[in-house]
Structure 1
Amino acid sequence: MYNIINFVQAQSHDYKSQKSIYNIITGKKSHQTFFDAASQNLLSLYHSLPNLKYQSFERFSNNESNSNEDYAIITHARYTYDSLINTFSAIQLLTQTVSNLNHQQNHFIPTSQHQFIQQRVKEVFAYIKTYNLYNDFKEELTQLFAKLYQQHGTTYLHYYLQGYEESMYTRQQVSLIENIPQHQLLELEYIELISLLNLIEDNKNFALLSRLIILPPLLNKTQITLNGLTNGHSIEEIQQQQNVKINTIEDHLLELFIKGYLHDYYLYFNEDDIKTFIPYYTAHRDERLRLFKEQFPKYSYFQIKLMIVGIERGELVVT
């Protein structure tokens, strides 16, 4: 917890308030917070400490003596903390399912009660069953943890896998086994989850596990906008249907790009625009939006924000 808070403090732009930083790690559901997280490369720490009280946040922020310099916090530009947790939960459940059914055990208490996770695992398991890919799944899982061990010199996430007649450990038990305080173990697990997502994004080496990646949930109104886009409606039609200002729909679009549901940036600006924008943005990353607007007056604030999102997600690059 201490390292996370100190990292967020150091990573955030100088002009950002303490409250905006607090909103990121506690997961405030606002489009401003989504953009703050994405533009400061803090997306994977969004909603990482949902129960943290503001008074505690201030106290931890002012106390660097509890930091552990033996390991460094890292982030992922394309997934929120919920995505990390939910994706690993899907891996846990699929591992449990394959293990039990391979032993003809059809009755077991699933490791996750989350309906969306259960549905995703059912779909992937059905695919495995249809094409008899049980060995492929085992090989991918083995390869995943071998790579995690190779990268970090150890692994903690394996303690939380459960199979036939094998129960997972609790964090308290792992803390005792590894002789690591629970709050530090939480941070080490987070770092390992980042590596896990980086690995399974490679759908060539992890064709099955990559199917378990779960994107961040959307706000209700944003989901309605996504449904409209999926059904072929224009932005103007969606705006009229929802009876809102165009800025509101633009906020929905930014959320959809930030959370990985949309990827076609060039529907909203052209490639020459980004080639012009990237060098300046790279040199002035920590500046306020109005500076970019002054330098590029022909772009709307929506276009500028969207270009920043694409750059920070690693999806817009100069070739």
Structure 2
Amino acid sequence: MYFQQILLDLFSKLNGERSSMAPYYILRGKKSGQTLQDIHYYQATFYFGIAPDLTKEVYQQEVDQLFTNYWVTNEDEPKLTQRGQRELESFIEPMYSYATNSVLGEFEKRVLLLTQVASNRLAHIPTYYPVILDEIIQRDCKRLIHLLGGVDKTSLQLKTVIGEFLEKTGQQEEVKMIFVYRLTGYESAGLTWTQLGEQLNLRPLDALFKYRSLLAEFATYLLQNESEIAVIVPKSELLTETARKTLEWYTKGHNFHEIASIRRLKESTIEDHFVEIASARPDLSFNEILTEEQVREILCVRKELDTHKLKSLREQLPHYSYFQLRLALAKGEIIS
């Protein structure tokens, strides 16, 4: 049960320090201060936003099954049981990417439509019913085809790059088959999730998330190899719009209190923005709030206590504010 293994992996990373709903908000890509902190604290950034369409009902059904199987215990502070840990041993960590998850849906539509265009062009079929009816996506694809030098060149490039990618990816053959079966081309229609489940003896939900893993890897592959086809990957914004505005004021030289005054926002809101910025932009320094030496001190205590709970850290480090503790944890992955 692939999706249930994803949940087990998330519960394992959260280590009983968050509620049973925390993975739901991570998978949905909820841009709240708490969730954005959690994905960095618990090294779960690559899961963020892979399931914006996941409903609470479906999520709860899957979590309930974990409890029924006794893979997870204690609903308030869920931790993996020994049986749950054994179930996770066969799990291959997916290839999702924080940098592309937020645009994965748009990327998928572009891939599906452009593949259909290329397949029919190479078969010399001039007319067909488009697999994607979204007019915005259709206009985007026309623009991208123009940027790539026309339909003929785009078709050949796309065919080549997809073939090369499928040869180089280390994912299982089953996952490659899901990807190929989803594509619509000349005289072939992409399969639905139900059809894929029947074809490959998989639950539709598991097929969906295996597919998304390969799709995310494909987007990353195009960007890392600087392929001309990489222009089909939409640009991703890692910060919320309001945090981005705070960053703009900060890079102009304004300090924390000045930004709160300029933006007429509560200081607690600006604190959330700074923590979000620190998570997404670890290269930035916040020395007026917390020096790197202070960050190291906080992280050393965090490691000793083996916890990300702010209350526990504050008990050991009462001379730091909760804001400073949160900021240190957000920068924690890049300060040794």
Distance change >3 Å, CA 264–CA 20, structure 1 → 2: closer
> CA distance change for structure 1 residues 112 and 306 in 2, over 3 Å: closer, same or farther?
farther
2:163 counterpart (132, 142, 148): 142
Paired position in structure 2 for 1:303: 327
More RCO (CA 8 Å, sep 6+):
1
Pair 317,127 (structure 1): closer, same or farther in 2 beyond 3 Å: farther
1:176 to 198, 203, 210: 198
Give 5+ residue unaligned stretches, structure 1.
none
Q: Does 1:62 align with 2:67?
A: yes
Determine if contact 2:260/2:266 at 8 Å carries over to the other structure.
Answer: yes
Partner of 2:15: 13
Further displaced range: 34-43 or 207-216: 207-216
Spell out, residue by residue over 1:78-97, the C-alpha distance to the aligned partner (whole angstroms, 9 max, x if none).
Answer: 24754444433332233234
Q: Look up the SS of the partner of 1:129 in the other structure.
A: coil
Identify the residue that residue 76 of structure 2 maps to in structure 1.
none
Task: Choose 1 or 2 for highest CA Rg.
Answer: 2
Find the aligned partners of 1:35 and 1:106 in 2 and give their Cα distance: 49
Q: Does the Cα contact within 8 Å between 2:97 and 2:217 map onto a contact in 1?
A: no
AA partner of residue 283 (structure 2): Y
In the alignment, which of 221, 227, 230 is matched to residue 199 of structure 1? 221
Structure 1 residue 174, shift from structure 2 partner = 1.6
CA apart distance, 1:138: 2.8
In structure 2, the residue matched to 1:2 is 4
Deviation at 1:10, TM superposition (A): 1.7
For these two proteins, the number of residue pairs brought into alignment is 305
Cα 1:203/1:80, change in 2 over 3 Å: closer
TM-score by length of 1: 0.71
Counterpart Cα distance in 1 of 2:275 and 2:230 = 27
- The residue type equivalent to 1:95 in the other structure is T
For the Cα contact (< 8 Å) 1:87–1:212, is it kept in 2?
Answer: yes
Note the C-alpha offset of 1:139. 2.0
Deviation at 1:185, TM superposition (A): 2.0
Go from structure 1 to structure 2 and tell me whether the alpha carbon gap of 1:241 and 1:121 turns closer, same or farther (over 3 Å shift). farther
What is the rounded CA distance, in whole Å, between the counterparts of 1:126 and 1:303 in structure 2? 45
**RMSD of aligned alpha carbons:** 4.3
In the alignment, which of 249, 268, 272 is matched to residue 286 of structure 2? Answer: 268
* Structure 1 residue identity aligned to 2:286: Y
1:160 maps to which residue? 182
Aligned to 1:185: 207
* Identical residues among aligned pairs (%): 17
Q: Find the aligned partners of 2:119 and 2:252 in 1 and give their Cα distance.
A: 42
Residues 104/287 of structure 1: CA separation in 2 closer, same or farther (3 Å cut): same
Query: Which amino acid is the alignment partner of residue 268 of structure 1?
Result: F
Question: What is the alpha-carbon distance in structure 1 between the residues aligned to residue 110 and residue 277 of structure 2?
Answer: 22
80 and 253 in structure 1: CA distance in 2 versus 1, 3 angstrom threshold? farther
Q: Deviations over 1:24-80 (max 9, x none)?
A: 334444221122123223334345262133753552231237986654343646247
- The answer to whether the 8 A contact 1:157-1:189 is kept is yes
Distance 1:271 1:22, change over 3 A: same
State which drifts further: 166-175 or 26-35.
26-35
Map of 2:81 onto structure 1: none
- The alignment's TM-score, normalised by the length of structure 2, stands at 0.68
Q: Distance in 2 between matches of 1:273 and 1:106?
A: 65
